[in-house]
Amino acid sequence: MLAEFLRNVGADGARAVLPGSSDKERKDWLESRSRFAKRVPMWMLDLVVALLEQIPNREDRPQGRRREDATARVELLSAGMPTAEAAKFVAEMEAALTAGASGKQLSDEAIAVRAEKLARRVYRKRKRDVPKSK
């Protein structure tokens, strides 16, 4: 998209002299493309377009990663209780659902690890010092 915009302004990636070219070619290119387009020399725009054309187009990729349902639940519950307690509650609820579906009981340590992971996702910036619930 940016490369297309720069092409519309007059930049041409095919004219760019890339690294590895001779000094004479580079000097000729700089002199021929030294007219300014809104205070930026055309040679700079040519080089930017040449670099941007090398980036593959990824339109099929999703725009963002969807939040995990458990993280959304913790964020919702943290409006009325501390985030660490909300994360512990959601982790215990997941453990109970897992135990009911498979009959396999999760250990308290596994629940605590899951609660800490959920709390970290909600805190986002504070990765290490996540307060522990009592």
Residue 41 DSSP SS3: strand
36 strand-pairing partners: 41
Rounded CA-CA distance 25/34 in Å is 14
**Average pLDDT in the 9-20 region?**
72
Write down the mean pLDDT value for the chain: 78
pLDDT at position 15 over 60? yes
Residues, the chain: 134
Task: Provide the pLDDT for residue 37.
Answer: 59
Of residues 54 and 33, more confidence is placed in: 54
What pLDDT does residue 86 have?
Answer: 92
CA angle 83, 86, 87 (to 5 degrees): 85
pTM: 0.46
If one counts every other C-beta atom within 10 angstroms of the C-beta of residue 70, the result is: 18
Tokens representing 10 are: 């007059």
Share of the chain above pLDDT 70, in %: 78
